[in-house]
Amino acid sequence: MSLLLKNCYLVTPGFEHGDMSVLVENGKIARIFAPSDQLPAADEVRDCENAILAPGFVDVHCHGRSGFDFCDASVEAISTIARNKLAEGVTTLLPTTLTVSEEQLSGAMKSAAEYVAGSDYAKGCKLPGVHLEGPFINGKLIGAQNPAYLRLPDIEEVKRLNAIFPVKKVSYAPEVEGGAVFASELLAMGITPSAVHTAATHKEFLDAYNHGMRNLSHFCNQMTPLHHRDIGMVGAGLLHEDVYIEFICDKLHICPDMIELVFALKDIKHIQLISDAMRASGMPDGEYDLGGMQTFVKDGAARLANGALAGSTLQICDALANVLDVTGIALSELIRTTSDNQAKALDLGKIGRIEPGYAADLVLLDDDLKVLSTYVDGTLRYSAK
């Protein structure tokens, strides 16, 4: 099967131009056509009417959406999340866990495996693996995680979970007992280690860095801040050029001034926009559960009873719009932060670019960066109409 998307404003890392066309064959990008090129015949032709065509978004940190959480450990939960993420342009998702029991984590992994093996998988975004956030975190920066389930890094637990469904990323506190070596143990399994909910000094981070850690999860949130006597984890993310950072750009977790500062100082090829969304994403304000803790959502902000932020309700398309609004950086550069950087940081293969040979995971956006259509492997899986 072939699909021709014509008359689009093509945006891919390092390039953007109007009146372009893209030919998709057998789920992959086959050829890009300039305005003056003669277009080929195709089984299906869509006139994009100069809407923005970009690589499908990759959300590597998302707990839930549409009333469900990945740790609900049900096929219905993961199926609903994966289908509805398409509405925000996400074509690849790493469902993300909470600090809960191993039994509950195992249940979530089993539901992911069952979902991917079932017929509903063809209706949602891709799930190459899971992101474990916790339970190996520092209780001093617990955030909205449940302290009842904290435990030390345990590679054997990760192996047990990975045997059920692939683990692609583990976010934990590198300064806790065994944390530095844990990074190299994860890398030996092909899993990306990342720092989160951490009170590490810069020196403690360097220990994990020397064992291969190159990622920081939800940068600035629940980690040691920049200080003139110890630059902490925030300083580490800015200082080390090869370290990837996740960024929740909802203008709440990160204020606009900090967004502008980070994009001014950090190599844009190492910034990953994430949602860190919980089950209230795409839902009205009200009360919700987050890992067994009561969470209150008002005006789109999710908080615990003590006022602490409890994940977000952010959607990736809105995160991109927020960064564009704050920084004014060219869309062809910002688009790196929604998919290409994630693909490189987690070795997700040929996604994140509109180039021949890459998967035809695509999102069509209006001028306000709202999603019109989402394609996975060249197949239309979401349309706003």
For residues 190-218, give the mean pLDDT. Answer: 98
Question: Do the strands 2-12 and 44-47 form a parallel or antiparallel pair, or are they unpaired?
Answer: parallel
Where does the pLDDT of residue 166 fall: very low under 50, low under 70, confident under 90, or very high at 90 and above?
Answer: very high
Query: How large is the average pLDDT for residues 218-231?
Result: 97
How confident is the model at residue 290, as a pLDDT?
A: 85
pLDDT in tens, 34-90: 999 999 999 999 999 999 999 999 999 999 999 999 999 999 999 999 999 999 999
- pLDDT band, residue 354 (cuts 50/70/90): very high
Catalytic residue from among 250, 276, 340, 377: 276
Helices (H), 85-201: 102-117, 155-164, 179-188
The pairing of beta strand 15-25 with beta strand 2-12: antiparallel
The mean pLDDT of 113-118, rounded to a whole number, is: 98
pLDDT at 310 (0 to 100): 86
pLDDT on residue 144: 84
- Of the listed ranges 145-149, 264-268, 332-336, the one predicted with least confidence: 145-149
352-375 mean pLDDT: 98
Q: 331 falls in which pLDDT band (50, 70, 90)?
A: very high
pLDDT at residue 252, rounded to an integer: 94
**Packing angle between helix 102-117 and helix 75-84, nearest 10 degrees?**
60
Its CATH architecture, for the domain 57-345, is Alpha-Beta Barrel (3.20)
CATH architecture of 2-54+354-383: Roll (2.30)
pLDDT score at 292: 81
Q: Which of 103-107, 310-314, 367-371 has the lowest mean pLDDT?
A: 310-314
Report the C-alpha gap between 361 and 240 in whole angstroms. 31
113-138 average pLDDT score = 97
SS3 at position 368: coil
pLDDT at residue number 336: 98
Q: What does the pLDDT average to over 255-276?
A: 98
Residue 385, pLDDT score = 86
Residue span(s) of the chain under CATH 2.30.40.10 come to: 2-54+354-383
Confidence of residue 17 (pLDDT cuts 50, 70, 90): very high
Q: What is the separation of C-alpha 271 from the centre of its chain, rounded to a whole number of angstroms? A: 11
Mean pLDDT (whole number) for 21-34: 98
For the chain, give every residue range classified as CATH 3.20.20.140.
Answer: 57-345
60, 100 contact by CB (below 8 A): no
pLDDT (0 to 100) of residue 33: 98
pLDDT (0 to 100) of residue 143: 85
> What is the rounded distance in angstroms from the CA atom of residue 367 to the CA atom of residue 85?
20
Cα–Cα distance, 112 to 66 (Å, whole number): 17
* Residues forming beta bridges with residue 6, ordered by sequence position: 47
Is 267 known to be catalytic? no
Q: Which secondary-structure segment (H or E) carries 363?
A: strand 362-365
pLDDT value at position 141? 93
pTM across the whole model = 0.97
* 245-265 residue pLDDT tens: 999 999 999 999 999 999 999
